[in-house]
Amino acid sequence: MNKSNTNIIFKFTGKNEFTKNHRLNYIIFLSISIILFLQGAISTWLTFSIGLGIWGINDLVCWAFDITNFVFWIGLAHSGTLISAILLLLRQNWRSTYNKPAETMTLISIVIALTYPIIHTGRPWLAWYWLFPYPNEMALMPNFKSALIWDYFAIPIYFIVSLVFWYLGMIPDFARKSKELTVSKLSSVYSKLSLGWNGNSMQWNIFRQTYLLLAGIATPLVIAVHSIVSYDFSVTLVSGWHLTIFPPYFIAGAIFSGCAFVQVITLLKEYFGAKKYRISNENLEKMNKIILTFSLLMAYVYITEIFFAFYSGNKYELNLINRKFYGDLSLLFFLVVLSNFIIPQLLWFFKFRNSKLISLLISLIILFGMWLERYMIVVGSLKYDNLVGMIGFYFPTVYELSLLFGSIGLFFMVYLILIKVLPMYSDLEIEFSLSK
Amino acid sequence: MDRRNFISITFGSMMLALNACRQSQDKIVPNVEPSRFYSNDDYLYYNTVLSNKNAAFAVKVKTKEGKPIKIIGNNSTQIIGMDAKLQATIYELLHPDRLRMPRIEDKESNLQYALQKVFDKLYNFINLGKNIIFIMSEHSSRFLNKLINEIKSLNSSIKFFNYPTIYSNEAYLNSELLGVNGEIIPDLSNIKLFISIEADILGTDKFALYYQNVISERKENQADIKLITIESAFTLTGLNSNKRIVINKNNIESLLSDLILQVANKLNYNIPVKITNKLLQIKSNNTFDLNDLVYDILDNRNQVFIKSGTVSSYKTTALTILLNIILNSYQNRMYLAPNSYDKSEHLLELYRLLERPKDILIISLDTDLFYFASSDLYKKLLQIPIENIISFSLLQDSTARNSFINIPLKHSLECWGDAQVLNQNYVIRQPIIEPLNSESVSIEELLIFIKSKIINKENTNIYDELMSSYHLSEEEWINALINGYINNGENLLFNINFNPEKFLDFFDNDEGSSHANLLLFPSLYLGDGSYSTIPWLNELPDPITGVCWLNPVNISQNISKKYDLKEGDVIKISFKDNAVTAPVIINSELADDTIVGYYGYGRYSNKSLPNDEGVNFYNLKDISSIFLNNLLVNIEKTQNRIKISKIMSYVHSNTNANHFICDKMYEKQHKHFFENKKYFENKWIMIIDTTKCIGCNYCILSCQIENNIPFVGMDEILRGRNLHWIRHYVIMTDKGYRNIMVMCQHCENAPCEKVCPVSASTHSEDGLNETTYNRCVGTRYCITNCPYKIRKFNYFNYASNFTKSLNLMLNPSVTVRSRGVVEKCSFCVQRINEYKRFEDASEKIETACQEACPTGAISFLNLKYHQDAIEKIIGNKHLVRLLEEYNTGPSVWYLL
């Protein structure tokens, strides 16, 4: 991409670890995703029509799976932009292995993440537009002090920027695809999507400048949006939420889980998608190194949290730490530390770093651990209130689990369709790099 | 007329009409000013009387547009606050399951015909010389007594029984030993030391409202009354007493004997030798050190009263009476609970009559006899041919189902009547609302009908009968209705003649072996079961265990260890031939080998009350134990488990309350509490005196009624949701237990206001923390950020629990919240607004919780105008605010 960079960013040396019948597996995987999505849609409809009472939330733990899933998905969304934008700015050319899946993931994840705050409100038919400051004769305005309003603005903006970034990056590929598929009906669609791209140097020049500019805009946005998501928690008085470390903590967590997820879906794409290119072990290793770094960062955050409690001497925070080690949260906390810190340490070993299967497994474990961590933050903190005797309980119902699996289904349904339809490797970029 | 003319006339008239319709050019002003004089949305208050069995209390009924919407205490009778049961009668009035039509053998009929049928039946029995038994619950009505006596005098085969669902041993022993027919209620205003022997005077007692009032009044006047409780159960009285002696039930008698001997010895009182020997014999088991107690008693000589409860055995009650005699306690002013005992209506007499089931006609008047019956009484009732059972009831209860003729009764808010309240005054019961169902009859009307039929006279009007029975002039009568009571000239005093001869009669029964002592109390909110049809009361949490909708038995810790029982395990409790199964909860405050059960559950199941899975303990008893509320039972673990529905209000005996009662440094700096510069008009604050609060939860119910808060049902409670705007819990301090009622704290610096994305939670100009229900979208962000977690969310459309008829009960000044909306205490903003519209805001107003508080623990004041009053209330008590370290600046202050 960059003229001065002559490194070969793609090699064809990756060992093919998947030898099964891909087409059948694709159909099975897609069908499962669609089924998951459909049952999630039914649960959503039931939640709308009957009420939030069908969930397990109660007087004390009034946020649970909904917000956990929201934070989880919005966290996943962030690493997509990170990989595309920040690595672009840092001139890490190996990103082109990951950037298209990651950007696609960002888009789908934001949409999923956005649905949760809407579903989780008591009156979603009003909530989706009452948060917007539209002029009205009652002179009613939303409360700009509320972190939820910041969310309401930050996330759509992030969505729009990501969408533009994603689309812009695909314009040359659309043009190429339309030329390749001269017979197909899709060709005209691709041609329209390519916005008259003919690949002359002026277009490339403008393209690169815009792309860089958008990357420049997107990068602070990653930081800002996820900080705002963390403000939902850190501006409150709830012990366990009321921490200044939350913005960097959430961003680290987001990138951590996001990288793991990108690893998962890239390997999946390789499995189901075009056979032309495969992830080189070099790139796999680079991504694994990032994951390892963020795993250590997460460990640092956990230690800081404990330090905060002891340093401040705040009895509520100390109580929470006590619960994490000895109390009701101990199992959760143990699983979180195990999957987010201890297991990723395997990536210190070259053998594991280079194995696609091990990378996939570790990434899946990290995703599980990161979901649990969000669950621990949301439910664990709300379960105990600061007044004596305010001890709550929470058990998810079928509908909440169904919504979680429904969101996973929705993601893979859209993703699996898109990898067949859209140019998922930036062929031009790769070829361009190779030709250098 | 030709066409042209027609058109010109038409158009001409149209032009004229248009001209005439022009608006006046002068400025006119519509009449939109609210007027105090001819608005029909004023609240009107009526004095009347409501009673739970024979415990009647004068009440005021608040009505709007003719509908009764709230029941509050009548201040002129020195009773403040209102019992939850009586408050909830408003629900009973509009109960969706109320009977609509009289029914004869499953066929609907009309009232006239059904009454005629009843009389025919009755007349037939009179002619045959068979017995006619009217069974009614205990009452305190003079008018009813008069009618009963008149009917009785007409024919000897007509018998009336005041069926005591919860039998008072004391009343029986008083008549045997003291020659006084009834339960003695001391006037606590002269008493310095009150010793309650298993008597739950502040909780489940019928006259609890009276005791609560008097004891708090004593605290108010700095003339504190010392309350000592000796019990094996853990009652609300024990919770609130100055000293609670926990002792096994079997040892209470020996403790009392020891106490009597020691006190008599100190006072040089001569107990008859026979009795002394017996006491010495019983005393030997006592291991409890009585020195303090004896000195307490001797210090307050002549100002002591000792009372035994419904669960006390004959021995304990007899010993209590003896101790009172020794201490001269009966010289103090006392009241007699009206109609609490009558030898001729003794239950054994009823059993005797039931020996010949074919020859009697049972007419049940508002008594669910089939529910209250003990196991062998139930069997006997089943032997009566169904044609001979007639029931008059409000709802379709089990007696109504088992009867041949079933006639709907009028609710006590719908008919004339009267009752004697505790201080022996009479109160007239006025019909606040026209009967909702014209095909219904009141008990008084029925008796008048029967009387006039028997003597073959014209049926007289109940109003005339009632009025003439009081011999008052027109003016006096109207005054009595306005004031709410009629001064009774009758002498309060009654003579006590102790009869030591009979004393030892109660000591010769010996006890069999058993696993545990089962103590049976009436339920705190459902009473003996007559209120169990009201879901509001079912949902009120027990102040000690927090349980609602169910009546699990409380078991002591040693029983739970012995049988390996955990909360929710179901045990089989067997007494002689009968057995019931009940879930358990463990109460560490109980004495060893003690099980505590509550009557009143398992009575009624219908579509409006689907969850009544409680245990009916009346089934456990038989004829030998009909008078007992303490049974020696055997227990056995079963394999079943039940989830116990609980609302958070536990006793935290092991928790350190320090972080609740905030740091010492805040206690001294009250000054910043009074900062109110921001407000130029009003700044409302609520002060809750925890030294007075007894945790009766009446305020929760009052709040529910005032603010149209629906009940949510047992399933929702099990999911951890409820809609009570006030939460109660008990903490342990170095001064003893303290009840803390937490409602919205109306913070100055409210965390909920900052996080609501749609500005539905805002601060009013009066410093109130307001919730705009219409604007709320239900993100529940405010709930998570509220440090007191007192905001409630409508997870379902709970308001649909107010079915059609119940809509009439709703307070028209308060919105009914829909699904998906957060709600919370509003400091009764509707009352504040009404007040601000018409009155001078510097005067005091009452919130709903304050209105119902029997101990006056809640005060609602305006910081701008009532500085002196606030200082006076605070006095030298510790003033704290909850979680002061958060700097939320709550407007609810607590005195510790």
CB within 8 Å: A51 and B820: yes
**pLDDT tens-digit readout, A232-253:** 999 998 888 888 889 999 999 9
Nearest to A122 among B716, B787, B821 (CB): B821
Nearest to A388 among B655, B720, B796 (CB): B655
Q: What pLDDT shows up at residue A428?
A: 56
Residues from chain B that touch A126, judged by Cβ atoms under 8 A, are 777
Q: What pLDDT shows up at residue B823?
A: 94
Q: Which residues pair with B595 in a beta bridge?
A: B518, B555
pLDDT classification of B54: cutoffs 50, 70, 90: confident
Nearest to B783 among A62, A141, A232 (CB): A62
**A401-410, B32-41, B655-664, B864-873 — which one is most confidently predicted on average?**
A401-410
Selected for mutation to probe chain A from B659, B780, B819 (highest A CB count within 10 Å) is: B780
Residue A3 has pLDDT above 60, yes or no: no
What is the strand order of the sheet B651-652 is part of?
A: B651-652, B727-733, B736-742
**pLDDT tens-digit readout, B673-724:** 666 566 667 888 899 998 889 989 999 999 999 999 999 988 899 898 989 9
Residue B487 has pLDDT above 80, yes or no: no
Q: What pLDDT shows up at residue B23?
A: 58
Residue A72 has pLDDT above 90, yes or no: yes
> Would you state the structure tokens that stand for residue B175, as one six-digit string?
């008549």
Residues from chain B that touch A121, judged by Cβ atoms under 8 A, are 777-779, 820
Q: What pLDDT shows up at residue B457?
A: 84
**pLDDT tens-digit readout, B231-279:** 999 999 998 888 889 998 888 888 999 999 999 988 888 888 888 888 8
User: What's the rounded mean pLDDT across residues B87-108?
Assistant: 89
Residue B95 has pLDDT above 70, yes or no: yes
Query: Domains of chain A (ranges plus CATH)?
Result: 22-132+140-430 (1.20.1630.10)
Selected for mutation to probe chain A from B567, B759, B796 (highest A CB count within 10 Å) is: B759
Looking at per-residue pLDDT, the higher value among B526 and B864 belongs to B526
CB within 8 Å: A148 and B882: no
User: What's the rounded mean pLDDT across residues B734-741?
Assistant: 82
A153 to chain B: closest CA residue: B757
* b/e sequence A325-360, b meaning 16+ C-beta within 10 Å: eebebeebbebbbebbbebbebbeeeebbbbbebbb
Is the minimum CB–CB distance between B650 and chain A shorter than 8 Å?
Answer: yes
Residue B665: CB partners within 8 Å, gap ≥ 6?
Answer: none
Query: What distance in Å separates residue B876's CA from the closest CA in chain A?
Result: 25
Listed residue (B795, B509, B753) closest to B628, CA to CA: B509
Q: What percent of chain A has pLDDT over 70?
A: 88
Residue A276 has pLDDT above 60, yes or no: no
User: What's the rounded mean pLDDT across residues B207-222?
Assistant: 83
User: What's the rounded mean pLDDT across residues B594-614?
Assistant: 74
> Would you state the structure tokens that stand for residue B501, as one six-digit string?
């001869």
Nearest to A51 among B655, B776, B796 (CB): B796
**pLDDT tens-digit readout, B277-327:** 888 888 877 788 888 889 988 888 888 999 998 888 888 899 999 999 898
User: What's the rounded mean pLDDT across residues B444-448?
Assistant: 91
Nearest to A122 among B660, B757, B820 (CB): B820
10 Å CB burial of residue B2 (0-12, 13-18, 19+) is exposed
Listed residue (A211, A229, A212) closest to A76, CA to CA: A229
Residue B35 has pLDDT above 60, yes or no: no
Q: For residue B486, how many other CB atoms are within 10 A of its CB?
A: 20
Residue B852 has pLDDT above 70, yes or no: yes
Q: What pLDDT shows up at residue B610?
A: 52
Is the minimum CB–CB distance between B832 and chain A shorter than 8 Å?
Answer: no
Residue B474 has pLDDT above 60, yes or no: yes
B782 to chain A: closest CA residue: A236
Residue B459 has pLDDT above 50, yes or no: yes
**pLDDT tens-digit readout, B368-398:** 888 888 888 888 888 888 888 999 999 888 8
**CB of B637 closer than 8 Å to CB of B534:** no
Distances (CA, A) of B351 to B128, B374, B617, B622: 21, 11, 20, 11
Selected for mutation to probe chain B from A121, A234, A388 (highest B CB count within 10 Å) is: A388
A395 to chain B: closest CA residue: B719
Query: Domains of chain B (ranges plus CATH)?
Result: 184-336 (3.40.228.10), 510-641 (2.40.40.20), 655-895 (3.30.70.20)
Residue A5 has pLDDT above 50, yes or no: no
Residues from chain B that touch A49, judged by Cβ atoms under 8 A, are none
Is the minimum CB–CB distance between B382 and chain A shorter than 8 Å?
Answer: no
10 Å CB burial of residue B453 (0-12, 13-18, 19+) is middle
pLDDT classification of A44: cutoffs 50, 70, 90: very high
Selected for mutation to probe chain B from A146, A149, A231 (highest B CB count within 10 Å) is: A146
**pLDDT tens-digit readout, A129-180:** 888 888 888 888 899 989 999 988 988 898 998 898 888 888 888 887 777 7
ipTM of the complex: 0.90
CB within 8 Å: A121 and B820: yes
**CB of B229 closer than 8 Å to CB of B237:** yes
Chains A, B: CB contacts under 8 A, how many?
149
User: What's the rounded mean pLDDT across residues A112-120?
Assistant: 90
Residues in chain A, overall count = 436
User: What's the rounded mean pLDDT across residues A393-407?
Assistant: 93
Q: What pLDDT shows up at residue B34?
A: 54
Angle between helix A315-325 and helix A330-337 axes, rounded to 10 deg: 70
**pLDDT tens-digit readout, B546-573:** 898 888 999 999 999 999 999 889 999 9
Residues from chain B that touch A232, judged by Cβ atoms under 8 A, are 781
The overall average pLDDT reported for chain B is 85
Nearest to A145 among B754, B795, B821 (CB): B754
Query: What distance in Å separates residue B696's CA from the closest CA in chain A?
Result: 19
Which of A216-220, A398-402, B718-722 is predicted least confidently? A216-220
Q: Which residues pair with B103 in a beta bridge?
A: B108, B406
User: What's the rounded mean pLDDT across residues A67-75?
Assistant: 92
Residue with tokens 């054994």: B348
CB within 8 Å: B793 and A387: no
